[in-house]
């Protein structure tokens, strides 16, 4: 069974994380090797938390599953987990990355970047597949995706999927296919890791909203 690490915004998206854990536990979609709430003392220095996640959790996984909600792209630990999943370190190895777009986001699109995905996951789709060429097109279609993910969706040769939650919510066989295919793809993916790691949690939209508060 493919071993996977789940990266997500704990405060906003815990419900979806728990549902995914049920699919892993009851339906055998993947072996869950993730950090659980309470596993790591959040009072530790950020670099210590990052090292613990990288060396104790990511080291034994083949896939990182990103649950993408409305504020996921602003979370520093999510960004660290993604970048650590994209490189071969002294302890952890490079992984495949599967993005699951949650119902809370503004996206109505999907990206089928894995071999056999169109036929397996979207067999009911009538056609009309097309490719995006520019970053602004990705941002328009996936306004809540982390910049690091968009950079790699655009990079030739990187095989990665962005799948709607509805396609896996009650379909563990779809999730298992995507996780297994992502693991195979991750072995050969040469990711774009040039974007600097996020050093703090910051949502500029919230900051702007605060300017008008009274």
DSSP 29-44: S-EE-PPPTTSS-TTS
Three-state secondary-structure class, residue 96? strand
* Stretch 33-56: mean pLDDT: 64
* Stretch 109-134: mean pLDDT: 91
Residue 172 CA from chain centroid, whole number? 17
How far apart CA 59 and CA 200 sit, in angstroms, is 24
Tokens of 41: 């003392």
Question: What spatial distance separates the first Cα and last Cα of the chain, rounded to whole Å?
Answer: 54
Question: In Å, what is the CA distance from 51 to each residue of 12, 47, 89?
Answer: 24, 6, 11
Beta bridge partners of 3: 31
Confidence of residue 211 (pLDDT cuts 50, 70, 90): very low
Pick the CATH number of 3-211 from 3.40.1800, 3.30.70, 3.40.50, 2.40.128: 3.40.50
Q: If you average pLDDT over every residue of the chain, what do you get?
A: 87
At 108 the pLDDT is 86
At 214 the pLDDT is 26
At 53 the pLDDT is 66
How far apart CA 44 and CA 186 sit, in angstroms, is 31
Residue 113 predicted with pLDDT over 90:
yes
* Stretch 106-128: mean pLDDT: 91
Please classify residue 43 by burial: count the beta carbons closer than 10 Å to its beta carbon, then call 0-12 exposed, 13-18 middle and 19+ buried: exposed
At 202 the pLDDT is 75
């Amino acid at each position: 069974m493919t071993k996977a690490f789940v990266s997500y915004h704990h405060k906003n998206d815990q419900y979806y994380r728990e549902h995914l854990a049920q699919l892993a536990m009851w339906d055998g979609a993947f072996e869950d090797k993730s950090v659980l709430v309470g596993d790591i003392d959040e009072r530790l220095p950020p670099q210590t938390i990052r090292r613990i996640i990288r060396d104790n959790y990511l080291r034994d996984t083949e896939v990182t599953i990103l649950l993408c909600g409305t504020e996921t792209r602003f979370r520093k630990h999510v960004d660290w987990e993604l970048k650590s999943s994209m490189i071969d370190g002294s302890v952890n190895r490079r992984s495949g990355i599967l993005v699951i777009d949650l119902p809370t986001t503004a996206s109505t699109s999907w990206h089928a970047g894995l071999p056999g995905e169109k036929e397996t996951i979207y067999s009911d789709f009538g056609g009309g597949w097309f490719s995006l060429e520019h970053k602004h097109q990705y941002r328009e279609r996936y306004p809540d995706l982390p910049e690091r993910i968009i950079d790699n969706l655009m990079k030739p040769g990187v095989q990665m999927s962005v799948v709607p939650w509805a396609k896996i919510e009650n379909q563990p066989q779809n999730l298992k296919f995507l996780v297994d295919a992502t693991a195979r793809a991750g072995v050969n993916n040469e990711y774009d890791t040039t974007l600097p790691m996020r050093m703090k949690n910051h949502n500029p939209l919230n900051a702007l909203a605060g300017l008008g508060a009274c």
